[in-house]
Chain A
Amino acid sequence: MTVSNRLRAWYGAHPLHLLLMACCFALAGYAAVQLLTGRPLQVALWFIGGALLHDLVLVPLYSGADLAAQAALARHQHGSEAATPTDPTAAALPTTGFVNHVRVPVFLSLLLLLVWFPLILRRSEPYTGATGFSQDVYLGRWLLITAGVFAASALLLGARLLRRHRRTHPRHPHHRRPHHRRRPRR
């Protein structure tokens, strides 16, 4: 067995992989020495915290909220189906049809908040003094945008339900060709 093969057997990848990694950590180390001058512990915490922020904080929060919303929608749907079996809105759409009408506006609203929270929540102390602008406008704007995307989503859902209702309960069946049906979308 050659030295290179033994290295490969132990290391678990091509020796080039090892060289690439060494190069990567050497460059990162060179920059990290300067990055960590000053307040090394806090900077390291920000860096490592950044690596875990999405996976260990945001994912449990948004996945949990999403599963809860889906469960609530499913319960609501089964409940209304049982109570008013002829209600056209019930069972007209599967749960998945509803849940995205909630998901999308929530996602857009929270995304804008995630990026612009210092201004929206008036957290930026030097802002008004430095720029001469008021920080008070942002909360209202964000709330209006949020209202706008929820309203758009509701309108869209309303239009979808109406279309389904029309399709399943044609008002003037005689005027329609006997087997006329819009082809279901793929």
Chain B
Amino acid sequence: MAGEQSDGDPWRSAGRRLRRRAAQPAGTAPPGPFRPGFWRSPIRSPWLTAVFGLVLLLGITVLFVTGLLSYAAYNPGLGAVNDQTPDKGILGFYLFTWPTHPSWLYRLNQGVHVTLGVVLVPVVLAKLWSVIPKLFEWPPARSPAHAVERLSLLLLVGGVVFEFATGILNIQLHYIFPGSFYTLHFYGAWVFIAGFVVHVVLRLARMWRALRSRRLGEVLRTDTAHTRAEPSDEAGPVAASPRAATMSRRGALALTGAGSLALLVVTAGQSIGGVWRRTALLAPHGQSLASGPNGFQVNKTAASVGITADDIGPAWRLRLHGPAGTLTFTREQLLAMPQDAAALPIACVEGWSTDDQHWSGLRLAALAALAGLPHPGSVLVESVERGGSFSTVLLAGNQISNPLSLLALHVNGADLSPDHGYPARVIVPANPGVNNTKWVRDLTFRA
């Protein structure tokens, strides 16, 4: 080619400049963390990084999938009232009608999503610690490829901390993040996953090589006194002038694992329930309200969303809308109708859930038939609650027709308490807790 040898080719000369800079000895790096001798831990090694990387590869994949499923569980495709991120565009490509079987599906999905997220915190920290010398690489960019790759790491590292922080703050109701949790956590996840996927594609082979470079058993048999730095390699985070080890690699793995275990122990009980709830010492819903039929956990008490005694007093009426017109019922009239029962959990997007509670009331399918629409496509459920993102919700046809789906009037043999939705609430198998509307006033069945 004509321009092959020409220095006038701006592309080639720019690349050459970058490489010339890259070829300069690291001695010209600014002092401090940019110098190779600064980072001295002897246990930083491609193998250790690869172990943390493998755990995160598996764990974050589960987090992403359960997160996508959690969004699908809201049935955002049914209508605007169900969709917290209506401008998602193509990012909702995978949505499907959320099933009602098995009834613990959402409970499991959310328990795994939140508990696993909490448990992975020390692994994320350990992974970041193990590669920190790479942040201070000198020169900062060896080539255009290296520069864009480092920019993609901003998506990866910024994204992982952003997602963990918004999730962990949200489950503690500490709303200091700048905007709606749903918007930030959903779009943030897609920004993050873009960085995550390229990182996996570019590093999978290196991770595999590093994992195979040592036997796990050999690392687990090596104590601190026998721990040595690995031979320096160009790609890895190996210290140039390591100090003597104060912790073995097996110690670093054990420390990270102990951190995960400690978080698991003080958290998981709020999702597992039963006697395990007592172990959830630091989890937001490890406590119980009281003993008795209405003692299980609530997401929002009646007082916190402004439900007054008048709203749910004797003047309360249920209104059914459908082809048969509008039918109005007092609570006594509803109680006089044949009652059905279902044992179902409350499972919150925040990860906590209750054991199965014994609900009784009227089947949604029976109410649909009363309204003159035996096989409705959806029902709009409206609460007495004024305002609030979840005071109105749409349920899908499969959720109405499931015989376990109730407009509940009783729980565990007693009247619902005001906090659990007295006079009447929706309970649907595998439904996210916020879509099991409390203090129901209107049901509008649609074809």
Contacts and interface: CB of A to CB of B under 8 A. Distances in A.
Interface string A46-76: 1111110111001100000000001000000
Contacts of B266: 112, 116, 145
Given A11-B143, A12-B145, A25-B194, A51 B89 contact: no
A45 to B, nearest CB: 8
B170 to A, nearest CB: 10
Interface string B129-155: 100100100000011111011011111
A21 B149 contact: yes
Contacts of B174: 118, 123-125, 127
B318 interface: no
Interface stretch (A83-91, A129-137, A161-169, A175-183): A129-137
A1 B1 contact: yes
Contacts of A118: 169, 172-174
Contacts of B128: 54-55
Given A39-B178, A96-B245, A129-B301, A186 B198 contact: no
Contacts of B198: 20-21, 23-24
Q: Which are the 4 A-B pairs with shortest beta-carbon distances? A: A12-B143, A50-B161, A31-B190, A51-B158
B187 to A, nearest CB: 4
Given A31-B187, A111-B122, A111-B263, 17 more contacts: A11-B144, A12-B144, A12-B145, A12-B146, A24-B152, A32-B191, A34-B85, A35-B187, A49-B158, A59-B129, A96-B246, A99-B246, A111-B262, A112-B263, A125-B174, A127-B284, A134-B287
Given A112-B263, A131-B285, A133-B287, A27 B144 contact: no
A17 interface: yes
Given A21-B149, A34-B187, A54 B161 contact: yes
A58 B188 CA distance: 22
A112 B119 CA distance: 11
Given A1-B1, A46-B165, A129 B304 contact: yes
A1 B404 CA distance: 70
Nearest to B188: A35
A104 B255 contact: yes
A152 to B, nearest CB: 11
A82 interface: no
Contact of B155 (A28, A99, A141): A28
B121 A35 contact: no
A130 B154 contact: no
A137 B285 CA distance: 12
B179 A43 contact: yes
A158 B70 CA distance: 49
B37 to A, nearest CB: 15
A12 B178 contact: no
A contacts with B: majority SS: helix
Given A11-B15, A38-B183, A70-B246, A108 B259 contact: yes
Interface in B274-323: 281-282, 284-285, 287, 289, 297-301, 303-304
Contacts, number: 233
B10 to A, nearest CB: 9
Interface string B166-199: 0011001111011110011001101101110110
Given A18-B145, A118-B174, A131 B187 contact: no
Contact of B89 (A7, A30, A123, A141): A30
Given A30-B90, A35-B188, A104-B258, A130 B122 contact: no
Interface in B390-447: 419
A28 B4 CA distance: 36
Interface of A: 1, 6-7, 9-13, 17-18, 20-21, 23-25, 27-28, 30-32, 34-35, 37-39, 42-43, 46-51, 53-55, 58-59, 70, 95-96, 99-100, 103-104, 107-108, 111-112, 114-116, 118-120, 123-127, 129-134, 137-138, 141-142, 145, 185-186
A28 B246 contact: no
Interface in B106-120: 118
A160 B239 CA distance: 31
A59 B132 contact: yes
A31 B92 CA distance: 11
Contacts of B175: 126
A131 B159 contact: no
Given A9-B12, A32-B187, A47 B143 contact: no
A126 B284 CA distance: 12
B12 A35 contact: no
Contact of A42 (B90, B161, B178): B178
Given A47-B188, A55-B135, A59-B132, A10 B12 contact: yes
Nearest to B135: A55
B166 to A, nearest CB: 8
B18 to A, nearest CB: 7
A114 B259 CA distance: 12
Contact of B287 (A137, A145, A186): A137
A73 B342 CA distance: 62
A186 B15 CA distance: 51
13 contacts: A7-B11, A10-B12, A12-B15, A21-B148, A28-B191, A96-B244, A100-B246, A108-B262, A116-B172, A118-B173, A129-B301, A129-B303, A131-B285
